[in-house]
Amino acid sequence: MTISTLAEEANDQIAAAVDLRRRLHEWPETGNHLPITRDAVLEALEGLPLDITLHSSTSGIAAVLTGDSPGPTILLRGDMDALPMPEDTGLDFSSKVENTMHACGHDTHTAMLVGAARMLSSHRSELAGRVLFMFQPGEEGHYGARYMLDEGLLDLAPFADGTPSPVTGAFALHITSSLPTGTATTRGGALMASSDHLLITVHGRGGHASEPHRALDPIPIACEIVQAMQMMVTRSIDVFDPTIITVGRITAGTTHNVIPENAQIEGTVRAVSAATRSKVHEGIRRVADGIASAHGASVDIAITLGYPVTSNHNGFAAFATGVAGEIIGADHVLQMPHPAMGAEDFSYVLEAVPGSMMFLGATPAERNPRTASANHSNRVYFDEQAMVPGMALYTGVAMRHLQRES
């Protein structure tokens, strides 16, 4: 198999990929337990020379393709879960599940990975090593990748002759409506941010709205904390190693003439390095506690760690970029100037294995990516033809990695 033929081979798989994608899109599932999705994937993989392991803690599927020659293993990831939100795209195959939608394109990821499994299976005799297809649930905040890793995803049995087959690389695609079909983008180092949950409870003293001097109003204290956190970011965090604190909810009180006892601040904290992540956590605690103390109040601060920084291995990102350039043209492979501030649980895989993630454009020529509905929108639209270069990229990266590592 040569790189130049991969797009043609992927084009032969597009009808089956579209069929599977639409089936998954009509019946989306959220979280870590996706029985309908798992059954659909297993049916699509039926007949391929794969050793399949069904994970028990989630609906994860690990499918291993073993080549004719010994060698290392490369992991290819496709996430399978949807989002708890309505769909308003008007597509003929719109979601049939109320308030559940594949708004982040995981249905296309799954279909592309199945297509790549078919393509690589047809070239099994050329493989020196193994390909581990990771069909993963629970990416949308449910830690699906971590569950699969904890269950032994990377602990593959050796070849029959006892030769070990270490996982030496990992690759994932993420479809996006912010790029035109036929393009891709990535970068070495930090690709996506960490994401942590913030909850601050300000404890004051309740009372009558007409007598604030006899109470200790937590609401203005909460408001001051929110503003001070934003100033803390601009004055203590390096602008070239950024962080974002976004408060999405402030809750207090029950009616207009009662000063409540407590107020809650809830939001998200994002960073693109472990050092800044730790520094901003310390800053939040210092600012919130200091402001509350200055007013005679107290605070409880809970920062729940979410996904870590998604950090591409520099060498692997450069390698994948080169392969992508051969498949779709170097002028269609863009280098991201800075990380995206969204988060990804492929980060757990990249902490364990050198690899990279790449964004795959999926907005057709007649639409403007700058104004197209974004991922996670109830109206997001993904061009299904984008799955052709996607399947070719999965296949090409796997083949080239095994060739260079063997």
Catalytic residue selected from 143, 307, 348, 394? 307
Q: Which of 224, 326, 351, 384 is catalytic?
A: 384
Mind spelling out the 3-state secondary structure of the chain? Answer: CCHHHHHHHHHHHHHHHHHHHHHHHHCCCCCCCCHHHHHHHHHHHCCCCEEEEECCCCCCEEEEEECCEEEEEEEEEEECCCECCCCCCCCCCCCCCCCCECCCCHHHHHHHHHHHHHHHHCCHHHCEEEEEEEEECCCCCCCHHHHHHHCCCCCCCCCCCCCCCCEEEEEEEEEEEEEECCCEEECCEEEECEEEEEEEEEECECEECCCHHHCECHHHHHHHHHHHHHHHHHHHCCCCCCEEEEEEEEEECCCCCEECCEEEEEEEEEECCHHHHHHHHHHHHHHHHHHHHHCCCEEEEEEECCCCCEEECHHHHHHHHHHHHHHHCHHHEEECCCCECCCCCHHHHHHHCCEEEEEEEEECCCCCCCCCCCCCCCCCCCCHHHHHHHHHHHHHHHHHHHHHHC
Please give the Cα distance from 276 to 173 (Å, whole number).
Answer: 27
Question: Could you confirm whether 147 is annotated as catalytic?
Answer: no
174 is written with which tokens?
Answer: 């993420």
Nearest-CA neighbor of 375 among 105, 83, 92, 113? 105
Is 307 assigned a catalytic role?
yes
Catalytic residues, by residue number, are 307, 384
